[in-house]
Amino acid sequence: MLDIAGYAVATLITLVAIWRAMGGKDASRRSLWGCFLGFGIALWTKTRVVRIGLNNSAITDISILIKHYSAGIAILAIMYYIVAVYGQDTERPQAVRVARIMQKVATKTALAAFALMTLMFFTIVDRSTPSDRFVSDHAGQAGATAYMSVFYIYLGSASALCLYQWSSAFFGEKRPLLKTGLGLMAFAMILGVMYSFGRMFFMWGWLVEHPGYDSAHLVESITEAMQDALFVFFAIGVSIPTTQESVRRARSWWALVRLYPMWRQLMEAFPETPMEKPGSLRHELTRNDVAVEIRLDRWINDVGDAVEKLRHYVPDELLPAAREAAAAQRGRNHVGPLAQAYWIKAALAAKHSGAAAGPVAAFEQRPAASQDDESAWLRSVARAYKKVEYHRAQVLLASAGPMGVTA
């Protein structure tokens, strides 16, 4: 059962590493990618097939050294992630001080630990026969205990520093989703501290009283499960803020889908309005040169600018006529988006018919508290706009009064 869980967790962390590799290129994202890549390699070296294959190779028990190298690099990447995130936190000066200390000592400490572990692995660790479970197979051996102690002190100390930063941020965070992520990351580091110093405690105790193989194997299995849980909690905790961002991007992307038909027709009527000539829906949705949130903001502004220009091509009477048409179709309590949709389509019909530009006509702009609020309103207008037939818009335009025609 533990072997199956090991494969599952290794696969999970590998998938997260791939996902992170496709993210941004700022320091914090690069650090997280390095962290998950290192942990992924470490976890695969623990799986039964990889572990036995490596341990029976020309360098006996080499899976242990590879696992500790990759896990150590992952921990170093976490350190750099914390420096990138908290190194400039003006609201938490203590966090800045700790981050700067970590920045100064992290790389030197990691290199020193790697060098000492390598020396011990090839000199004092008994590798006369390949091992399956390194800790229980070497229980009561001074060389293996000293070697593992170096790794556990490095791992446990780094986990404690991460626990301090994330628990401090947890208590100061007000946003529920981010607070949950920080809480899971802090809990993962609690497991990391318990795993590291707990194992070291048992290994030193076994030097005094040599355990039976079953007892040592039980301790190793329990702490192994604790470590697997650590990775799961950490991966979920780190991913929650990103998931929130992904949800926000998905909403913006969906808003572009809904706005596209109305936006494109408005931009074709006023080609000088958009920064770039409108492309196909597929092109607009798959381009990655501009963030989707920025494009949505531009489209909202484009629609607003085009509506302002349309006000020069219609009479004041079009607004009450549009409200009456919407009320007849939906009832007077639901005229808002549909009335605007009627007005926009009728105004476009006037522009296309060659109406001369004149004074600014009446139009009711709905106040918006945020981009999300404005986006939601325009999505409703765009949804209604698709259902307004062109000939009905022309009839509405005619009922509002005569329009001047250019020569």
pLDDT, tens digit (0-9, with 9 covering 90-100), for 83-121: 777 666 556 667 667 777 776 788 888 999 999 999 999
Helix H or strand E segment including 113: helix 93-123
The answer to whether the predicted template modeling score (pTM) of the entire model surpasses 0.85 is: no
Q: Is 355 helix (H, G, I), strand (E, B) or coil?
A: strand
- Look at the alpha carbons of 94, 88, 193, 152 in this order and tell me if their dihedral is positive or negative: negative
The residue count for the chain: 407
What was the pLDDT predicted at 26?
A: 63
Tokens for 375, please give them.
């986006």
Name residue 214's amino acid. D
Q: Is 405 helix (H, G, I), strand (E, B) or coil?
A: strand
Tokens for 328, please give them.
């007849």
What was the pLDDT predicted at 404?
A: 43
Could you tell me which residues are beta bridge partners of residue 355?
Answer: 405
Selected from 1.20.1070, 3.40.50, 1.10.10, 1.10.3430, the CATH number assigned to the domain covering 2-248 reads 1.20.1070
What was the pLDDT predicted at 63?
A: 92
What was the pLDDT predicted at 196?
A: 94
Spatial contact of 225 and 350, defined as CB atoms under 8 Å apart: no
- Look at the alpha carbons of 107, 50, 152, 123 in this order and tell me if their dihedral is positive or negative: negative
CA angle 7, 71, 187 (to 5 degrees): 80
DSSP string, 17-68: HHHHHTS--SHHHHHHHHHHHHHHHHHHHHSHHHHHHHHTSSSTTHHHHHHH
What was the pLDDT predicted at 23?
A: 58
What was the pLDDT predicted at 238?
A: 85
> Of 65, 73, 43, whose CA–CA distance to 148 is shortest?
65
What was the pLDDT predicted at 354?
A: 80
To the nearest 10°, the Cα dihedral for 28, 30, 32, 33? 160
What was the pLDDT predicted at 91?
A: 61
What was the pLDDT predicted at 112?
A: 93
Tokens for 299, please give them.
């489209």
Q: Between the CA of residue 262 and those of 51, 266, 314, what are the distances in Å?
A: 59, 6, 18
Q: Quick count: other Cβ atoms within 10 Å of Cβ 224?
A: 18
Q: Between the CA of residue 2 and those of 65, 189, 293, what are the distances in Å?
A: 21, 21, 44
In the chain, domain spans: 2-248, 311-400
What was the pLDDT predicted at 185?
A: 93
What was the pLDDT predicted at 346?
A: 87
If you ran DSSP here, which 8-state letter would residue 160 be given? Answer: H
Max CA separation in the chain (angstroms): 105
Could you tell me which residues are beta bridge partners of residue 405?
Answer: 355
Angle subtended by helix axes 27-46 and 62-86, to nearest 10: 160
- Give CA–CA dist 381/398, Å, rounded: 22
Spatial contact of 164 and 86, defined as CB atoms under 8 Å apart: no
- Look at the alpha carbons of 373, 376, 381, 385 in this order and tell me if their dihedral is positive or negative: positive
- Give CA–CA dist 172/396, Å, rounded: 56
> Of 367, 355, 338, 337, whose CA–CA distance to 400 is shortest?
355
**Local confidence pLDDT in tens for the 407 residues of the chain:** 556 878 888 898 888 888 777 655 666 677 888 888 998 999 899 888 898 889 888 899 999 999 999 999 998 888 888 777 766 655 666 766 777 777 678 888 899 999 999 999 999 999 988 888 889 889 999 999 999 999 999 999 999 988 988 898 888 888 888 889 999 999 999 999 999 999 999 999 999 998 888 899 899 989 988 988 998 999 899 888 777 777 788 888 898 999 999 999 999 988 898 888 888 888 888 777 778 888 888 998 998 899 899 898 888 888 888 888 888 876 666 678 888 888 889 888 888 888 778 888 887 777 666 777 888 888 998 998 888 888 888 888 888 766 543 33
